[in-house]
Amino acid sequence: MCPALSRGLCPGKGLLGPSFMPGSSAEVQSSICIGRLVQSLFPWLGSPSANLRLTATAFFAELVKDHLVEKTKLLKPLLKALLERSRDPINTVRQMAMRGVGNVASGAPTKLRGHRAAVVEVLCRGLEDVAGAEVAAESLLALVKVLGQLKASAVGSALADIARSTRAFLGAEEEVLRRLAFTLYGTLASSASGRRSSFSREVEEVFPSLVLHLRDPAPAVSDACKGALHLCAPFLGSKRVRRRIATSAGLSAAELQDEICSHLAQDCPALLERLFSTARSCCMGSCQASQVTAVTVLGIILDTAPAEWLQRWDLAFLWGATTGASVCVRGTKNEKPRDTTTEEDVFLGHNAAKSNPAQRGGAG
């Protein structure tokens, strides 16, 4: 049992001592019930049973959203337990741990800054979790919550690490990973408003993906991408491109892509070349959503790029890619619309407690 919990949970003792002064009898009763539940479930975290560890971790992940936890001394031991479970061998347990760490931003925002180093470190590690895409998705969502409370100055050098790790998901096969990655990148841009010079380099790296996925086949991804593009626009070097994005509220995604490519051809040829290279790589990749967006942008580049540029590019490749666009797009449009809620359930595990953890991540 956690040493802090072993001192007792009754009013006047241990975690609910004099430092906690509830405002009503209902709060007193709630705090007592919460304390007793925590005391009962804490031993499950170290159980050899994966189901017990999952149940306790999932419960604590939701509990930290309650503001009563911030008023008591429960936050520190609960956060420590969640950080420890983030290394659990079971995917779904790690996923619930990441969810809980992110929920601290909702339940104890004033205390988050004091734990920012440990919180950011464990969530960055979650982005590198290759054993379970659902863990990475949960980490992306948690970072959106955490960075929504913290500014870039509080995150420090980790901001660049988060940005680089997030880029890896912008072209992911899974729709939910792409959507969360673009959402997180928009949050990064909002947090980095005071670090314009350093974050401008990150935006230049991700800008081609922002342009490509404006017409992502998944509407939720397209919307997230457009939101991120608007938040990242102030970090771009070209004033004309910045101004066009800022005033593009009435433009469709296709019109905005046309406008951006046209301005890049005139003002930022190096960035247009990077967009071309990224689109070409996406065409040769395995993600169908990225292939569809890439061939569309390549067609726009053919129309906007100066003639002397085209002489340097592989026109045979461009012709093959763009003529194949209609086939790709038709195939995508003929598919049944995706049920994004169902896909998100799979990745973010709304039914994770009902699944068999041993089958998800190994023996418990």
Low pLDDT (below 50) residues in the chain? 1-22, 325-343, 346-347, 350-364
What is 76-137 written as a DSSP string? HHHHHHHHHHTT-SSHHHHHHHHHHHHHHHHH-HHHHGGGHHHHHHHHHHHHT--S-HHHHH
Q: What is the pLDDT of residue 26?
A: 61
Helix %, strand %, coil % of the chain (to 5) = 75, 0, 25
pLDDT per residue as tens digits for the range 98-112: 999 999 998 888 888
- The pLDDT tens digits of the residues spanning 15-37 come to 433 344 445 566 666 677 787 88
Q: Looking at residue 347, what is its pLDDT?
A: 47
- Alpha-carbon span 73 to 342, nearest angstrom: 37
pLDDT at residue number 226: 95
Report the residue count for the chain: 364
Q: Measured at the alpha carbon of residue 220, what is the angle toward residues 171 and 268, in degrees to the nearest 5?
A: 55
> Nearest-CA neighbor of 321 among 301, 341, 351?
301
Distance from C-alpha of 292 to C-alpha of 283, rounded to nearest angstrom: 8
pLDDT for 78 equals 94
